[in-house]
C-alpha cells in the first residue's frame, strides 16, 4: 500500500515537505501550481512554490482551464526536472472554479481526453502523469469515466477524493463510491489511490479495507501529524503501532519546522505560518494549560519569544 501526501495549498510548502520527508512517504506533492503563472515565469511560483530538493520523489500539481496553457505548464515543470506531474481536477475554491479549473474541469470530458492525448505525445515517456479528481461536480456524476480515461492514456495513478466539488470539505468523503470505483477494471499499471477523511491509522485501515486500492493520499490528517505516515505503515505491515511521539519529540519537530520556515521565508513569515500548525501538532497534549499556552504563543509576533515559549510548554 503506497502512502502519498496530497498537495495542500498553504501547507505542503518546501519547509513542511522537509519535515514530511523524514517519514518516508512514497510520494509528496508541492502546493498546487497555477499553469498561467508558471508559463509567465512568475517568480513566487518558480522560486518559492516549486522550490524542491528531490524532484524525483516530490511531484508537482498543476491547475488550469485552458488546454494549451496546461500543456505548456506541464512541459515546463518537466523541463525544471519534475518526474511526477498531476492535474488538479478537484479544487472547489470559487476563484478557481470561476475560471473553469479545479473540479470545474470534471464535466469537460472531451477537453481532458484531448489534453491527456497531447501530454502523452509531448512529455517524455518516463515522466509520470496522474489525475486527482472528486466524485462529482454540478451535472457531472460519472467519475468512472476518468478511470477509463486514465487507463486509456497509461497514467501512473488516479487519486479519487470521495466528495463532490459542491461539498468543499463538508460532509463525509463517500467511501462507498470510492470503493466501487476501485473495483472497476483497470490495467495493472494504473494505480488507484483513495483520498478523503483519512485521519488516524486505525480509522484509515478500517476505512480502506473493503476497497481495491494501491495506495492512499493523506491530506488534513498529516497537518501537524507527520507521524501518521509511520503509524499507518507500521499498522499495515505489522498489525500494530509502536511510534507515538512524546511531547519532547513534538516540540523538537515544531522547532525544526520553524527553523526551515525561517531559512526559507524569513522570521516574520515564519512566525505567522507556524501558527496554523501549532494546535494540530499538540492535539494529543491539549490540556487546559497547554491550550492557554498555545493561544498565547500564537499571538506572539517575535519568533525568538515564540520559540522560547514552545520550549517551555
Ligand X SMILES: Cc1cc2nc3c(=O)[nH]c(=O)nc-3n(C[C@H](O)[C@H](O)[C@H](O)COP(=O)(O)O)c2cc1C
Residues in the site for ligand X, rule: CB under 6 A?
Answer: 6-11, 31-32, 61, 88, 90-91, 132, 161, 169, 173, 195-198, 219-221
Q: Please say which residue, 45 or 61, places its beta carbon nearer to ligand X.
A: 61
Closest distance between ligand X and the C-beta of residue 116, in Å? 17
Q: Please say which residue, 61 or 69, places its beta carbon nearer to ligand X.
A: 61
Q: Please say which residue, 16 or 282, places its beta carbon nearer to ligand X.
A: 16
Residue 27: DSSP 8-state: B
**Which H or E run includes 147?**
helix 144-152
Inter-CA distances, 206 with 162, 214, 234, Å: 16, 15, 15
Q: Please say which residue, 42 or 309, places its beta carbon nearer to ligand X.
A: 42
**What is the widest separation between alpha-carbon atoms in the chain?**
59
Tell me the β-bridge partners of 134.
161
Q: Please say which residue, 25 or 90, places its beta carbon nearer to ligand X.
A: 90
3-state SS assignment for residue 66 = coil
Give the list of residues 6+ apart from residue 29 with CB closer than 8 angstroms, or none. 4, 5, 6, 7, 12, 58, 59, 60, 61, 84, 86
Inter-CA distances, 308 with 7, 198, 298, Å: 31, 33, 13
Closest distance between ligand X and the C-beta of residue 193, in Å? 10
Closest distance between ligand X and the C-beta of residue 5, in Å? 9
Phi-psi region of 154 (alpha: psi -120 to 50; beta: other; left: phi over 0): left
Q: What number of residues does the chain have?
A: 313
Closest distance between ligand X and the C-beta of residue 28, in Å? 12
Q: Please say which residue, 75 or 91, places its beta carbon nearer to ligand X.
A: 91
Closest distance between ligand X and the C-beta of residue 216, in Å? 9
Closest distance between ligand X and the C-beta of residue 169, in Å? 6
Q: Please say which residue, 28 or 190, places its beta carbon nearer to ligand X.
A: 28
Closest distance between ligand X and the C-beta of residue 90, in Å? 5
SS3 labels along 159-226: EEEEEEHHHCCCCCCCHHHHHHHHCCCCCCCCEEEEECCCCCHHHHHHHHCCCCCCEEEECHHHCCCC
Amino acid at each position: 500500500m503506497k502512502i502519498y501526501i496530497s498537495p495542500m495549498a498553504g501547507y505542503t510548502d518546501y519547509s513542511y515537505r522537509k519535515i514530511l520527508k523524514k517519514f518516508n512517504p512514497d510520494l509528496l506533492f508541492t502546493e498546487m501550481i497555477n499553469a498561467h503563472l508558471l508559463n509567465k515565469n512568475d517568480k513566487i511560483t518558480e522560486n518559492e512554490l516549486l522550490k524542491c530538493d528531490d524532484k524525483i520523489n516530490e511531484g508537482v500539481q498543476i491547475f488550469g482551464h485552458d488546454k494549451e496553457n496546461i500543456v505548456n505548464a506541464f512541459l515546463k515543470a518537466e523541463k525544471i526536472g519534475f518526474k511526477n506531474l498531476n492535474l488538479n481536477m478537484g479544487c472547489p475554491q470559487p476563484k478557481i472554479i470561476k475560471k473553469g479549473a479545479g473540479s470545474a474541469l470534471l464535466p469537460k470530458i472531451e477537453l481532458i481526453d484531448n489534453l491527456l492525448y497531447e501530454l502523452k505525445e509531448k512529455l517524455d515517456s518516463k515522466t509520470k502523469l496522474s489525475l486527482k479528481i472528486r466524485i462529482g461536480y454540478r451535472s457531472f456524476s460519472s467519475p468512472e469515466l476518468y478511470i477509463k480515461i486514465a487507463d486509456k492514456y497509461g497514467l501512473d495513478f488516479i487519486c479519487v477524493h470521495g466528495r463532490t466539488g459542491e461539498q468543499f470539505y463538508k460532509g463525509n468523503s463517500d467511501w462507498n463510491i470510492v470503493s466501487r470505483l476501485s473495483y472497476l477494471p483497470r490495467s495493472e499499471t494504473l494505480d488507484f489511490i483513495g483520498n478523503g477523511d483519512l485521519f488516524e491509522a486505525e480509522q484509515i485501515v478500517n476505512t480502506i479495507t473493503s476497497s481495491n486500492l494501491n495506495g492512499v493520499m493523506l491530506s488534513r490528517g498529516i497537518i501537524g501529524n507527520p507521524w501518521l505516515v509511520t503509524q499507518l505503515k507500521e499498522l499495515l505491515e505489522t498489525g500494530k503501532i509502536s511510534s507515538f511521539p512524546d511531547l519532547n519529540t513534538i516540540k523538537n519537530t515544531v522547532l525544526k519546522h520553524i527553523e526551515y520556515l525561517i531559512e526559507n521565508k524569513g522570521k516574520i513569515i515564519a512566525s505567522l505560518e507556524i501558527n496554523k500548525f501549532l494546535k494540530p501538532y499538540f492535539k494529543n497534549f491539549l490540556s487546559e494549560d497547554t491550550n492557554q499556552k498555545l493561544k498565547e504563543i500564537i499571538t506572539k509576533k517575535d519568533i525568538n519569544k515564540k520559540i522560547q515559549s514552545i520550549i517551555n510548554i
